[in-house]
Structure 1
Amino acid sequence: MSDLKWKVLSSHYIHKGPWATLRSDECEMPDGKIVPDYYVLEYPNWANAVALTHDNKIIMVSQYRHAAGIVSLEIPGGVVEAGEEPIEGMKRELLEETGYAFDSVELISTIYANPSTANNKTFCYLALGGKKVQEQNLDEHEQLIVHEYSIAEIKQLLLDNKIPQALHCTGLFYALMKLGELKG
C-alpha cells in the first residue's frame, strides 16, 4: 500500500476560512508523474452520535442545510473544536443540540466524508442511557428540532431513504450492527 502514496512537492493556500480551507498541492506519483494542481479541502474534524435515550429511543434532529437546500433528518453532531478531544466534542454537541446527557459514549467508527478531496475525519459514537437534563443551547445560526424514534422506525426511515446525510446513515449502520439490530 505504501507504494501507492504520493509525495507532496509543494503546497499553497487559495482560501482560508473558519469552516473550510482550500489548498493546492503539487504532487509526485510513485511512477514519477507530476500532478501540478491537486485541490484539497481542509475542514475541521466532525463528531456525531447515534444517541439512545434510557428507554431505547434514538434521538434525531431536523435542520436546514443551505448548501443542499433541504431540511435534513440527522443524528446529532458537529465540529470538534480546536484542542478538543473528539469524545468531548461529541458530549458537548449532544448536550447543546438535544439537552440530553448520556451514561456512556463509545466510539464505533472513524470515517472520511470524501478522502479524495477533503482531509477531515468524522468520529461516530454510540451514546446510551440518555436523559434530558437541560434545554437546547444552540449556536447563533442553528435551528434544530429534536425527535425520538424507535429502532424499528429508524430502520424504516433508512429503507425509505428519509435520512439524506451519508455520514449519518453510516453511523446508524455501525450502531445498528453494534446493537445486534442487523442480521449478519
Structure 2
Amino acid sequence: MNASAAPSRWERLGDKTLTSTRVFDVRSTRFRHPRRDTERDFIIIDSPDWVNVIALTRDQQLVLVRQFRFGTEAFSLEIPGGVIERGEDPLVAGVRELTEETGYTGQPARLLGSVHPNPALQTNRCHFVLVEDATCTHPLDWDEDEEIEVVTMPVEKVLKLAHAGGVTHALALNALLLFEPVWRGTRSPRA
C-alpha cells in the first residue's frame, strides 16, 4: 500500500442494533473501503451528547464533585456534568447539570469548546461550559444511582492536581485544559 496516498473515507453500508440501554445503544455497522473493496463490521456506541461544567465561584474556587464511578469502582474527582437532553442547548444543559449535581447556579454560561470523547467507538460530543459567579442556591437533585460529594477548591490547586495526576477523568482534564488559558487571561472562551 502506498503510504503517501490520501486516506479514503469508508462507505457505511448499514447497521443493526445489538443492544439498547438507558445510557447508549450498541450497534454493529458494516463499512467498505472504496479502493480496497474491503468490508468489515465495527462496533459503534451511539450516545447522546454530554456536557461538563467548569463552575467558578466569586472567590475563585472551582466547584467539583467527588463521585463514585462503577467502571473503576472508585471515587473520582471531577467537574459536574451529564447527558444533554434531545434538542437541549449545551449551555442550558450545563447550567441544569450544575444545579442538579451541586446546587450551584451562576451566569454567564459560555462554551469553552467541544470534543469527541472517543471517535473510534462513539458517535457523541462532549461540550465544555464555563459558568462564572457560581453560588450555592438550590438543594441537590441527584439521580438515584449517583453518590456524590460536592467540594470547592482554589483554581490553582485544581490545576496543580490536574497536572500532577490527581484528576484522572479524561473529559474533566479536557475541560481544565481549555479553561486554564482563559483563567490565565491568554484566551477568550468561545461565545
TM-score of the aligned structures, taking structure 1 as reference length: 0.93
SS in 2 for 1:149: strand
1:73 counterpart = 2:77: yes
> Paired residue for 1:165?
169
Structure 1 counterpart of 2:145 = 141
Counterpart of 1:35 in structure 2 is: 39
Name the amino acid aligned to 1:119.
Answer: T
Shift in Å, 1:36: 2.3
8 Å CA contact retained: 1:3, 1:30: no
* CA distance in structure 2 between the partners assigned to 1:33 and 1:109 by the alignment: 37
* 2:128 matched residue in structure 1: 124
Q: Distance in 2 between matches of 1:108 and 1:4?
A: 31
Identity %: 27
Whichever residue aligns with residue 177 of structure 1, its letter is: P
Structure 2 vs 1, CA of residues 163 and 181 (structure 1 numbering), >3 Å: closer, same or farther? Answer: farther
| SS across alignment from 2:65 | strand
Q: Is the 8 A contact 1:113 1:120 kept in 2?
A: yes
Q: In the TM superposition, what is the alpha-carbon distance from 1:160 to its structure 2 partner?
A: 2.1
Provide the rounded CA distance (Å) in 2 between the counterparts of 1:37 and 1:64.
Answer: 34
CA distance in 1, matches of 2:183, 2:157: 15
- Paired AA for residue 22 in structure 1: V
Q: For residues 96-146 of structure 1, what are the alpha-carbon distances to aligned partners after superposition, in whole Å with 9 as ceiling and x for unaligned?
A: 111111121111111011101111100001111111111211111112111
Residues paired across the two proteins, number:
182
Q: CA shift at 1:181, angstroms? A: 6.5
1:147-184 deviations in Å (ceiling 9; x for gaps): 111111012211220111001101001001122268xx
CA distance in 1, matches of 2:138, 2:44: 39
1:101 aligns with 2:109: no
* In 2, Cα distance between equivalents of 1:147 and 1:110: 25
Structure 1 Cα separation of the partners of residues 63 and 132 of structure 2: 11
Q: Does 1:7 align with 2:4?
A: no
* Matched AA of 1:50: I
TM-score by length of 2: 0.89
Task: Report the Cα offset of residue 29 of structure 1.
Answer: 1.7
* CA-to-aligned-CA distance 1:11-35 (integer Å, 9 cap, x gap): 1111111112111111112324323
Q: Alpha carbon RMSD of aligned pairs, Å?
A: 1.8
Query: What is the Cα deviation at residue 3 of structure 1?
Result: 5.9
Runs of at least 4 residues of structure 1 off by over 3 A?
A: none
Partner of 1:179: 183
SS of the residue 2:60 aligns to: coil
Q: Which runs of 5+ in 2 are unaligned?
A: 1-5, 187-191
Tell me, which stretches of 5 or more residues in structure 1 are unaligned? none
C-alpha separation between the residues in 2 aligned to 1:163 and 1:45? 22
- Give the letter aligned to residue 143 of structure 2: D
Distance 1:149 1:23 in 2: 41
